[in-house]
Every structure is written in structure tokens, then in C-alpha cells.
Amino acid sequence: MTLWWIGNAVLLLVVAPVCLILLTGLLKQVQRLNRLADTVLEHGVGLSGQLDSLPRLLTTNQLTTAARGLVGRYGGGIIGMVKSS
């Protein structure tokens, strides 16, 4: 019976405080992660506003690709005219 009392005392005086210390550290880290997640969310929402012009960027890319091909054809025509002269 005495061993039960010693075991209960050890549990109460050693194990419980160690668990509380570890849980306090864990809680601090969880709160830190929460603040970081809030910051990521804030900046992510701000970044998503910058993506509104993406369809126009794709259109610009298509137009510049077409223009590059037309410039190549124009240059080829000039070179052909110079060679035939």
C-alpha cells in the first residue's frame, strides 16, 4: 500500500509538472504557427489581387508571338528582294 502512495506522490510531484511544462511549450509553438498562418493568409490575399491581369498577359503573349512571326516573314521578304536585285 505504501508503494501506491509513493507512486501517486511521484506522479503528482514529478510527472504532472513535466507534462505541464511540455504542454506550455507546445502551446507557444502552436500560437506562433497561428500568427505565421495569419500572415501567410494576409499576403496571399494581397497577391491574389495581382493575378487579375493574368488573362491580359496571356493575350499579350499570343500577340507578341504572332508579331514575331510576321517580323520574320517581313525580314525574309526584304532579304529576298535584296538578293534578287
pLDDT of residue 45: 86
pLDDT of residue 67: 82
Q: Give the structural domain span for 19.
A: 2-84
Distance CA 5, CA 79 (A): 103
Domain count, the chain: 1
User: Measured between alpha carbons, how far is residue 17 from residues 10, 27, 54 in Å?
Assistant: 10, 15, 56
User: Measured between alpha carbons, how far is residue 6 from residues 9, 11, 20, 53, 82 in Å?
Assistant: 5, 9, 21, 71, 106
Distance CA 68, CA 74 (A): 10
Per residue of the chain (85 residues), what is the pLDDT tens digit? Answer: 888 888 888 888 888 899 999 999 999 999 999 999 999 999 988 888 787 787 888 888 888 888 887 777 777 777 776 676 6
